[in-house]
Each structure stands twice: as structure tokens, then as C-alpha cells.
Copies of this chain bind each other. A is one copy, B any other.
């Protein structure tokens, strides 16, 4: 694989895992030494990440995109029509094997699993459901939305019961798709998105002081 793609993927991972703090400045020279490559592939990776809005310009400088908590509501508003459409289409189009694949993914993540695993599955589930719709535009839009949500979800204080609830909701959505009940699946998906949004906002609001103290450039906290 080209060096540029390696750097892109690594940098992306560092950003999404909060290894690099939101709002943190990135200098091309630092990245140069960090990745032991020249500025050419690094700049290409940065331009690419800019397109994914994981990196942004601040004047002439590069910064890690800040987390804007204000956009969480808009994000839910965006996801609801798309994901309800996705599950309806999935009812009509997904094969039993496709559904079983997603089910397997959920099963693979048991209570003992590490935090990273829960985080990943919680994101991928929605993308995989979108994939069942067979519509590539829906898939890409949902994948982008989940990427945007991803970092905020690391900041959430995860309790065992909330994890369990999310898991149950995922399970129920999938169940309705399997039972070929599009309207129930759509209702469940919309409720799940709202629940998740509320849980996240409540958690972040309670912890806002903690976030600031940990040095996160988090904007949009009201």
C-alpha cells in the first residue's frame, strides 16, 4: 500500500481514538518525524482527512477537528430518516445470510469484551444495517455520521446498564428486520437513535467539567 494511505489510516486512527486531542495543532514537520516520511505523502493524507472533516485548517495551520457537541442533535435528526429508510429497505432486500452476519457481529461482543470492542461494534452495527439496504449512498452517509459521532462516544461515561440497553435495542431492530416487519423496525431504529442521543448528551453535560479538565477542545457545550 502506498505510504500516503498508511499515514492516512494511522493518523485517522490516532484522531478517532483521541490519541490526538480535538483542536490539537498538527504541524507537517512534526508528522514528518512522527511517521518518518517526507511532507509529500503527509500533505496528501492531510488533504484527504480534511475531506473527511477529521482535520481542519485554522488559518494556515492544521488542527485536529474539534468535537462540536452542538451538532449531536443535528446528527440524530439526519440519521433518523436515513436509518428508518435503511431498515425498511433491509426488510425488503436483505437475505437471511446477510442478517445472520450482522447477528454474529453482535454476538461476538459479550459483556466481558474490552471497551474498544463495544465502541467499534456500536458504530459498525449501524453501518452494517445500512449496508443491508443495498443503497451505497445511505451506507456512505451513515458511515460518515457514525464517524462524526465516534469521538464523542469515547467521552461518554459508559455504565454497564446503558451498554446493555443499547445492545438490546440493536438486537430488537435486527429482530424486526428478520421478522420482516418494516414499520416496527423503523420505529425501533428511530427510538434507538433518540435514546442514544439523549444518553450521550446527558452524560456529556454531567461531565463537562471533567472534559475541560482533560484538555479537550470541545465546542458547542451549552
Contact surface of A with B, Cβ cutoff 8 Å: 40, 43-44, 47-48, 50-52, 71, 74-75, 77-78, 80-82, 84-85, 89, 135-138, 141, 145
Contact = CB atoms under 8 A, between A and B. Distances in A.
A139 B166 CA distance: 29
Contacts of A136: 71, 74
Nearest to A148: B137
Contacts of A84: 81
A8 B137 CA distance: 24
Nearest to A44: B47
24 contacts: A40-B40, A43-B44, A44-B44, A44-B47, A47-B47, A47-B48, A47-B51, A48-B50, A51-B52, A71-B136, A74-B135, A74-B136, A75-B137, A77-B85, A77-B89, A77-B135, A77-B137, A78-B135, A78-B138, A78-B141, A81-B81, A81-B84, A137-B145, A141-B141
Contact of A82 (B75, B81, B89, B145): B81
A214 B74 CA distance: 44
Contacts of A75: 137
Contacts of A40: 40
Nearest to A79: B137
